[in-house]
Amino acid sequence: MTVTDPNAFSQDDLAKQRFNPNLAGRYRLDNIFRIASWVATIAGLVVLAFLLIDVLVDGLPRLNWQFLTSFPSRSAERAGILAPLVGTVWLLFITALVAFPIGVGAGIFLEEFSTDNLFTRILEINIGNLAAVPSIIYGLLGLAVFVRVFVDITGGRTVFAAGLTLALLILPVIIVATREALRAVPDSLRLAGMALGATRWQTVREHVLPQAFPGILTGTILALSRAIGETAPLIVIGAQTFVPYIPSFREGGFSALPIQIFNWVGRPQAEFHTNAAAGIIVLMIVLLIMNATAIYLRNRFQAGKV
Amino acid sequence: MTTSQLPDPSQNSGLWQPNRKLSKTMEKLAKGLFGAFGILSIFTTVGIVLTLVFETILFFQEVPIWDFLTDTQWTPLFTNSQYGIMVLISATLLTSVIALIVAMPMGILAAVCLSEYAPRKVRSWLKPALEILAGVPTVVFGYFALFLVTPILRPFVPGLQQFNGLSAGIVLGIAILPTIASLSEDAIYAVPQSLRQGSYALGATKRETITNVVLPAALSGIVASFILGVARAVGETMIVTIAAGQNPRLTLDPRVPIQTMTSFIVQVAGGDAPTGSIEYITLFAVGMTLFLITLVLNGFSFWFVRRFREKYE
């Protein structure tokens, strides 16, 4: 395919010999490449489908009312997920209550109030780095700070300490989502608000924030669904696997769905593995509801966009 | 505009005076409060670094740093304890490399498919579907690796034990696939259309355009996505804890049980180590190592993007 000698062009037959477009062969390679790329994409989805079907087949027969409303037990047939389920709902509320206002506030500050100075730049780099820290490291932070140092406030290894840790974990995600939602609001709205004499905060509160709110909410729900699926930080904090009571805010141990699943997976008996599959189904349903809400909000937001 | 045409403002000033004291206070209050929220995120970083450094210093008062780096045994829970971090690092390296071998070709091909081949309509539901894959909790992937992938692999891989690095690594690769695919796709998408058209005009086929023009142009973003994928694989906990076992050993054999840095942390933390005990501070020494590795990887990816990014106007 390469022509090194410029004289080759003048000699017709020689050029024909040297330049061989070989279109058929190249198109064949093209096809192979295209098919390979489709296979790679579909493979990911096939794996996802395979996983879901496997879990459904294993766990669905076990899923019943008794399973949802029972406390842990040494026998797999009598065990249930009441305590972990309540623990997960607790975590959802605490994490949302802490992370949402702080994350949105920090996002508003960075997008609306800050000027480009050293502080802002440090803040941005810092948030970028935090988003990449492994979740288990947050667990260690929670263990050292919320469980040990703030033991008087959090009560030690409680659902409160765990909720605070998860809130820190998803804070960068919410901040980034808030900033993106705010950035999507046209600048003319801000200019109009300020031209009418409103302060920056009034403009943001009355005009910008309502426009950006569905986007912020979507990002927050997605972040929360990430927090709900987290296992590692909760183990490090000291979530328990045998909680035969409804966990309370800052007293006594707590459990959560992923923890219970992890515990059941680790048992040698096959009956507990079935329990784990049923637990996974419940967890996936919770996540599915959250994700569907987020997608619904996003679609509604896109439809009503100015 | 001259002031003489307007009524004298002093005449009206007695009638209406905007009282902006409250709104100005609110403005300051909002800015201060939200700024404080921002500072909280800095406190998080400072908190992480301080806790890790503080406990790690305590650890190195008990264990010489040279032993930590060069010992070939990791037995902190035995009476004759040895702390060779290389044992855990080798396991983390093994699972991450397997994950990368799975996720790198698949991720890049999926990114090419999404941005170059898939029609707009197909793309609009393929992408959310891949996002669902990214949203699957890792404990579920762990279940998948232990109860589905390992039994499937066993007939094909002689000597494969129930807990092994291979199936953990493969599933880890599937878990980081959406990260790599979506970041690579962003990079490929950002390559201007004119480059593709130029390539077509020279007679290149679509594949030739993609492999010789588009992918090199997007290289910095693609490499960055690989590095971020590795960083995720290194910090990933539940898959390796569930499927790779809890046996610290210095090996690169993917068929035997191993223990990564993250699964060691889970093992000890799950056992409720008392504060100040050697097990407790070992947690933080391992956590520090993990933190430094991911920090270096992230820093490298930042630097790589800035250094090698191709800019098109």
Compute the distance between CA of residue B75 and CA of residue B82 in angstroms, rounded to an integer. 5
- This model of the complex carries an ipTM of 0.86
Interface of B with A in 138-177 (CB under 8 A): 138-144, 146-148, 174, 177
pLDDT of residue A192: 92
Residue A269 confidence class, pLDDT cut points 50, 70, 90? confident
pLDDT value of position B307: 82
> Distance (Å) from the C-alpha of residue B127 to the closest C-alpha of chain A?
10
Across the interface, do A113 and B30 touch by the CB < 8 Å criterion?
Answer: yes
Examine the domain organization and report whether A36 and A71 are in the same domain: no
Tell me: do A294 and A176 sit in the same domain.
yes
Q: Could you tell me if residue A113 is inside a domain?
A: yes
B274 touches chain A (CB under 8 A): no
Q: Does A128 share its domain with A241?
A: yes
Structural domain ending residue among the three candidates A14, A31, A62: A62
Residue A250 has pLDDT above 80, yes or no: no
Instruction: Residue A135: list chain B partners with CB under 8 A.
Output: 235, 237
How far is A219 from A104, CA to CA, in rounded Å?
A: 10
- Domain boundary assignment for chain B: 93-308
Instruction: Say if CB B235 and CB B141 are below 8 A apart.
Output: no
Query: Residue A10 — pLDDT band, cuts 50, 70, 90?
Result: low
Domain end: A62, A91, A108, which one? A62
A99 shares its domain with A25: no
Cα–Cα distance, A144 to B87 (Å, whole number): 25
Residue from B130, B143, B234 to probe the interface with A (highest A Cβ count within 10 Å): B143
Nearest chain B residue to A222 by CA: give it: B135
Query: For position B279, what pLDDT does the model report?
Result: 81
Q: Does A20 lie in the same domain as A87?
A: no
Q: For residue B8, what pLDDT is reported?
A: 61
**Both A139 and A237 in a single domain?**
yes
Please count the structural domains in chain A: 2
Whole-number Å distance between alpha carbons of A59 and A71: 18
Residue-wise pLDDT tens digits, A219-247: 899 899 989 999 899 988 887 777 777 77
Q: Quote the minimal CA–CA distance from A21 to chain B in Å.
A: 9
A258 located within any domain: yes
Same domain, A181 and A42: no
Closest chain A residue to B30 measured between Cα atoms? A201
Q: Work out the angle at residue A276's Cα, subtended by the Cα atoms of residues A274 and A280, and round it to the nearest 5 degrees.
A: 115
A71 & A58 share domain: no
Asked if A34's CB is within 8 angstroms of B207's CB, the reply is yes
Q: Give the per-residue pLDDT at A116.
A: 80
Q: Could A123 and B38 be called an inter-chain contact, meaning their C-beta atoms sit closer than 8 Å?
A: yes
- Chain A residues with CB inside 8 Å of B177's CB? 44
* A to B CB pairs, distance under 8 Å: 260
Q: Quick one: closest CA in A to B102, which residue? A: A40
Q: Which residue range(s) make up the domain with A29? A: 6-62
Closest-CA distance, B92 to chain A, in angstroms, reads: 13
Judge whether A1 lies within some domain: no
pLDDT tens digits for A162-216? 999 999 999 999 999 999 999 989 999 999 998 988 888 999 998 899 889 888 9
Which of chain A's residues have a Cβ under 8 Å away from the Cβ of B257? none
Find the closest chain B residue to A135 by CA distance.
Answer: B235
pLDDT at B93: 92
pLDDT at A197: 85
CATH architecture for the domain at B93-308: Orthogonal Bundle (1.10)
The C-alpha of A269 sits at a distance from chain B's nearest C-alpha, in angstroms, of: 13
Q: How far is A200 from chain B (nearest CA, A)?
A: 7
* Contacts of residue A148, Cβ cutoff 8 Å, sequence gap at least 6: B275
Measured between CB atoms, which of B37, B235, B272 is closest to A134? Answer: B235
Whether residues A84 and A17 fall in one domain: no
Whether residues A193 and A108 share a domain: the answer is yes
In angstroms, the Cα distances linking A261 to A76, A238, A273 are 13, 15, 9
DSSP category for residue B162: S
For every residue of A39-54, DSSP letters joined together read HHHHHHHHHHHHHHHH
CA distance B270 to A234: 10
Is residue A32 a part of any domain in this protein?
yes
Mention every residue, 6+ apart, whose C-beta is less than 8 A from residue B187: B111, B218, B220, B221, B222, B224, B225
| Tens of pLDDT, residues A74-90 | 777 778 888 888 889 98
- For residue A37, pLDDT over 90 is answered with yes
Inter-chain contact A261–B139, Cβ cutoff 8 Å? yes
* Higher-confidence position of B133 and A305: B133
pLDDT score, position A306: 45
Q: Which of the listed residues A47, A62, A77 is the one where a domain comes to its end? A: A62
A116 falls within a domain: yes
Residue-level pLDDT at B21: 82
Task: Give the distance, in angstroms, between the CA of residue A47 and the centroid of all CA atoms in the same chain.
Answer: 19
Residues A205 and A253 grouped into a single domain: yes
Stretches where chain B sits below pLDDT 50 are: 1-3
Query: Of A202, A232, A284, which is closest to B266 when you measure between CB atoms?
Result: A232
What is the sign, positive or negative, of the torsion defined by CA atoms of B11, B15, B18, B22? positive
Q: Which residue of A has its CA nearest to B117?
A: A34
* Any A CB within 8 A of B188 CB: no
Q: What's the one-letter identity of residue A283?
A: L
Same domain? For A100 and A39 the reply is: no
Dump pLDDT digits (tens) for A86-143: 889 989 999 999 999 999 999 999 988 888 888 888 888 888 888 889 999 999 999 8
Residue A234 maps to which CATH number?
1.10.3720.10
Our CA-based measurement puts residue A273 at a distance from the nearest CA of chain B, in whole angstroms, of 9
